[in-house]
Structure 1
Amino acid sequence: MTPLRMALWQRDHEGHPVDATALIHHSDAGSQYTSIRFTEHLATEGIQPSIGSVGDAYDNALMETINGLYKTECIRTTVFHSGPFKTLADVEYATAGWVDWYNNRRLHSTLGMITPIEHEAAYYEALNREQQPV
């Protein structure tokens, strides 16, 4: 299962299905995002691709920030792995641990010192309250 399919499945499984045809996947012009295989994955889900301007780090600043956090908190430390990475599976395992920690346990100052999962739950709770008949 691809990470994209997994993310869509998780939303559906949690009772918050996503209309993938309303999504836009924005990225830089990296080869992994312009590859035929990746664009086929997007097309299969009905997601529109969007590629930013070339050579402009500010165009994708949020993603650059997350990449920096990932490298600092996961790759350059041994919090999510022990010893040097020897295989791709080692990197994938450490990455899965970091993503879980980042979304479920890491407090984010921009969210009021709560986790992303808590922020998302509060969002859906507020949305459900708004949709309740008075």
Structure 2
Amino acid sequence: MKGCPYDNTFAEAMFKVFKTEFANGAHFSSLELDDYVHWLNNIRIHGTLGYVTPVECRKQAL
């Protein structure tokens, strides 16, 4: 919905993590970005998901 402050929350959080934990002054090829997305979804645990990865959380929900 236009003007809703929560519309872009996930994208903003993902880019914050990307900049602070992974990118920090590095130069990337597209392959490295694929590696980052794999890391973000399959390896990195998240506190609000009960300290599991997003993929594990999704599997538990299904």
Structure (1 or 2) with the greater strand fraction: 1
Note if 1:63 corresponds to 2:1: no
The Cα of 1:96 is off from its aligned counterpart by 0.9
- TM-score, scaled to structure 1: 0.39
5+ residue gaps in structure 1? 1-49, 78-83, 125-134
Distance 1:107 1:65 in 2: 14
Note if 1:92 corresponds to 2:27: no
Residues 81-120 of structure 1: pairs in structure 2 closer than 5 A: 84-85=26-27, 90-120=28-58
Distance 2:16 2:45 in 1: 17
The Cα of 1:95 is off from its aligned counterpart by 1.3
Indicate the structure whose relative CO is greater, using CA pairs within 8 Å and at least 6 residues apart.
2
- TM-score, scaled to structure 2: 0.75
The Cα of 1:91 is off from its aligned counterpart by 3.2
Larger gyration radius, structure 1 or structure 2: 1
Distance 2:22 2:29 in 1: 9
5+ residue gaps in structure 2? none
Q: Which runs of 4+ in 1 moved over 6 A?
A: none
SS at the partner of 2:59?
Answer: helix
